[in-house]
Amino acid sequence: MKLIKDTPLTLSKTTISLHWIVAVLITGLLGSGLYMENFEAFFLMSWHKSFGVLLFAFALLRVTWRIINGWPKHTNTHPEYEMILAKIIHYVLIISMLLMPISGLITSGMGGHGVDLFGLEIIPHNPNPENPQRSMPFSESWSNLGKTVHGLTANALLVALGLHIVGAIKHHVIDKDNTLTRMLGKK
């Protein structure tokens, strides 16, 4: 099967699909993470972890596809500062979509809480022998590092995602170019 790559005028179905799958997963995970943190709704944690594992798989596919396919061509000529800002934002998004699930896996796995993928155990839970209802960390320092990176990356991702959305709207409304429409699969 031959994969169809992007052209200067259109993005491939692979590029569009991976973009929107990752976008939906990231948005849902950021939302559920903020909700759990602010309202102590930790009953969502197993779902959050499972979708985080899915995000990691799709993020790896997206990065691999980006390496194979290259960066999409700009649809218009823009000031140099906009091109630099766009590149920075895209790199922050790509690094974050990998770093978020990795740091989440480290936080949970090294914290002894385990990681399941919709019931399939990926990293085992490490029960405390004195109180099996509680977890015993494999490495508290690694778990704390993962938690710190997870939180910092979430903040960077929120800012980059906001700027990415604002940029897409700017392209569509002000520049009137086809940047947004081609990511929606239109010519």
Give the pLDDT score at 75: 64
Residues 6+ apart with CB under 8 A from 130: none
Q: How far is the C-alpha of 11 from the C-alpha of 61, rounded, in Å?
A: 16
Give the pLDDT score at 65: 94
SS (H, E, C) 40-56: CCHHHHHHHHHHHHHHH
Taking alpha carbons only, the member of 39, 52, 30 closest to residue 151 is 30
Taking alpha carbons only, the member of 142, 140, 111 closest to residue 127 is 111
Give the pLDDT score at 32: 97
pLDDT digit of tens for each residue in the chain (187 aa)?
567 888 877 889 999 999 999 999 999 999 999 999 999 999 999 999 999 999 999 999 999 999 998 887 776 678 889 889 999 999 999 999 999 999 999 999 999 999 999 999 999 999 999 998 899 999 999 999 999 999 999 999 999 999 999 999 998 898 888 778 888 887 6
Give the pLDDT score at 30: 97
Neighbours of 34 (CB within 10 A): 12
Rg (the chain; Cα; Å): 19
